[in-house]
Amino acid sequence: MRLVAGVMLVCALAACKKDNTAEQAGPAATQEAAQAVAPPPVAVSAEVAAMGAEQLREAASAALREQRLYAPAGNNAMEYYLALRDKSPNDPAVASALTDLMPYTLIATEQSINRDDFSEAQRLYALMEKTNPQAPALPRLKQSIADAQASLAQRTADAAAKTEEDAKKQADLEKQRLADQQKLQQQAAQQLAAQQAADAKAAADKAAADKAAADKAAADKAAADRAAAQRTAQQQSAPAQASSNDLRPISTPSPRYPPEAYRDGTAGEVQVEFTVGTDGSVTSARVVRADPPRVFDREALNAVKRWKFQPVSSPVTSRRTIGFNPGG
C-alpha cells in the first residue's frame, strides 16, 4: 500500500508543479469563462451516502482490488472513502486512501477534458474538491474545463458556420449549374430551330427545283409531241400526194385471210404505212391502225411487203387501208 502511495505521491507532485506553471501562464482573458462554468455535481451519490460504515469499508476495499479507483460513478473507491470519511472523519486510513487516490483522479480529469467529456471531468473534479477543497490543482482544472468548453463551443460554432458556408456554396454551385444547364438548353434549342429552318428551306428548294424540272420536262415533251405530230401530218400529206401523183402499182396481191378469223366470220381492216424504194419494191411497212387489233396485222403486212410499183426517183411513203370481209 505504501509503494502505491509513493507512486501516487510522485504523480501528485508532478501534477502540482504542472498546476503552478499553468496557473502562472494562464491568460487573464479566460477568468470570465471559468466563472461561467456550472457548479460541479454532487461528489457522492445518495445511494453511497446511505450505506453504513462497515459496508462502505468493504465496498472501498473491493473497489481497490478491482481497480475501480474513481469510476464508474456510484461504484468506486473514492466515493466509498468520501462517504466513509463523512461518517468517520478522524480515521487516518481513510484520509491516507483519499490522498493516494487524488493523483489518479487528477490524471483522469485531465484525460476527460482532453476528450471533451465535460460531464465526467466535472464529476471527477467534484470528487477532488470534496477530498481536498484546497488542492493546488483545482483552480487549474476548473479553468481547463471552462477553456475546453469554450473551445468546444467555438469549434462547434466554427463547424456550424463552415457547414452553413458550405451549404451556401453548394446552393450557389447548384444555382450556377441550373443556370448553365438552362443556357445550354437554350443554345441547343436555337441550334435545333436553325437546323429545322435550314432543312425546311432545303426541302422547299428541292421541291421547287423538282417542280421546275417536271414543268420543263412536260414542256419539252409537249414540244416534242407537237413536233412529232407536225412531222406525222407532213408525212401523211406528202406520201398521199406522192402516191396519187407518182406511185403506179405493178403488182398488189391481196392478203391471205387468217383461217381462224375466217371460221369465226370476223371482218376488219388494217391501215398500213409503207415506203417504196427507187426500184419500186416496198422497203418497209408498219401497221398504223387495226380493227380489230392484232387479228389481220401480220397478213396485211406480208401482203404489202410483196407489192411492186414502177421505179421512182426517190423513196415514197404512202398509206393504204386493207379490208377483210369473209363474205366479200
d(CA 234, CA 227): 10
Instruction: Assess whether pLDDT exceeds 90 at residue 317.
Output: yes
- Every domain range in the chain assigned CATH 3.30.2420.10: 249-324
Q: Minimal CA–CA distance to 107: which of 176, 27, 26, 12?
A: 12
String of DSSP letters for 24-65:
HHS-GGGHHHHHTSPPPPPSS-HHHHTS-HHHHHHHHHHHHH
Return the higher-pLDDT residue of 300 and 187: 300
pLDDT tier at 322, thresholds 50, 70, 90: very high
Instruction: Assess whether pLDDT exceeds 50 at residue 177.
Output: yes
- Nearby residues of 12 by Cβ (< 8 Å), 6 or more positions away: 99, 102, 103, 106
Q: Minimal CA–CA distance to 44: which of 10, 14, 8, 85?
A: 85
pLDDT tier at 232, thresholds 50, 70, 90: low
pLDDT at 320: 96
Instruction: Assess whether pLDDT exceeds 50 at residue 135.
Output: yes
Q: Are 41 and 123 in contact (CB under 8 A)?
A: yes
Return the higher-pLDDT residue of 7 and 281: 281
Instruction: Assess whether pLDDT exceeds 50 at residue 326.
Output: yes
Instruction: Assess whether pLDDT exceeds 70 at residue 233.
Output: no
pLDDT tier at 140, thresholds 50, 70, 90: very high
d(CA 248, CA 307): 11
Across the range 7-26, mean pLDDT stands at: 40
pLDDT tier at 209, thresholds 50, 70, 90: confident
Across the range 225-244, mean pLDDT stands at: 54
φ, ψ for residue 320, nearest 5 deg: -140, 145
* CATH match of 249-324 with 3.30.565.10: no
Percent of the chain with pLDDT over 70: 82
Across the range 221-248, mean pLDDT stands at: 60
Average pLDDT, the chain: 83
pLDDT tier at 215, thresholds 50, 70, 90: confident
State which amino acid sits at residue 147: D
